[in-house]
Amino acid sequence: MNMAAKSAPFLSTSRLLALAPMEDITDSPFRRICRRLGADIVYSEFVSSEGLIRDAKKSLKKLLFTPSERPIGIQIYGHDVESMRLAALMAESYDPDFIDINAGCPVKKLVNKGACAALLKDLPLLARMTHEVVKSVRLPVTVKMRIGWDSRSIVAVDAARMLEDAGVSALAIHGRTRDQAYRGTANWDMIAASAAAVSVPVIGNGDIRLPEDALQRFQRYPEIAGIMIGRGAIGVPWLFDRIHNLMRGEEVASPPFAHRVALLKEHILYSVEERGERLGVMTMRKHFSGYLKGEPMVAQLRSRLMQFYEVEPLFAELDDYLQSRSLP
């Protein structure tokens, strides 16, 4: 099954920073903001292979992106090899920069169908699925996975070797098992061991919330080619720039509050453009905490913002608060 990995120069970026694929988070508006603020690569929300081959409207919409989001990978998931192969071909027709296979999501309704992290219980199936996708598309193929199903089945090193043989161009490894979900601590030692076992780039994922977290991982684990940030970036898109600045020995302070409010407004307008006003505003609520964190009486402000379904009163509330913060 040994296949040579396809060339992917963007995956060879020194100390690469990636925005993790997250359902209902990494939509086009958020990807645009993160790319501008230092994310070297981004991923789509995960897309159902079965949804794609059945032309499901929701799945097809997830394939759309803007030129400013490049380099971008479309992540697909499923349990059936042929469905994944066909889905990869459909995703490729939208001309992303790479295709990613989800072997890490811990969501129960997906793993119960044999998809995502459940593939870690059947490495030959995962390898065969990856091989068929690699063979069928012209684009580079990557896999995002966890270190294993549970503490008794840590398979990251074996999986990495099998996937390299299957032809992947890079791997992203979340340092938790499926059983952990997002609890406990990510095992970066296992991520590094997996990276040392293969020649393709390995991107580590887990517990990166501050610039210092990323710098520490790069210093301690020279085997890793990059770092992927998921929940730590929600509402904090400038985290990527802060990490780059820290690695250059530059200022790492968070943007001034007025700048964060301006970014939040821009993000809201992108979301409204994408979804319409009511849904676009509601979708942004999960980002409010990050954008506004650390300000006085911010819990009360966030509570008021949650009441709005239209842009004008929401912006007026933000402006009033900003004005009150600037008074002596």
Catalytic residues: 105
Query: Within a 13 Å sphere around the CA of 288, how many CA atoms are in the beta-carbon half?
Result: 21
Dihedral sign (CA 246, 248, 251, 253): negative
Quick check: bond before 67 cis, omega within 30?
no
Amino acid identity, residue 215?
A: L
Contacts of 42 (CB under 8 A, 6+ apart): 18, 19, 26, 31, 34, 35, 69, 71, 72, 73
Query: DSSP 3-state assignment of 226?
Result: strand
Residues 279 and 293: beta-carbon distance below 8 Å: no
Q: Give kind and range of the element (H or E) at residue 275.
A: helix 257-275
Burial of 296 (0-12, 13-18, 19+ CB in 10 A): exposed
DSSP 143: E
- Give the residue among 218, 228, 182, 232 at the shortest CA–CA distance from 19: 228
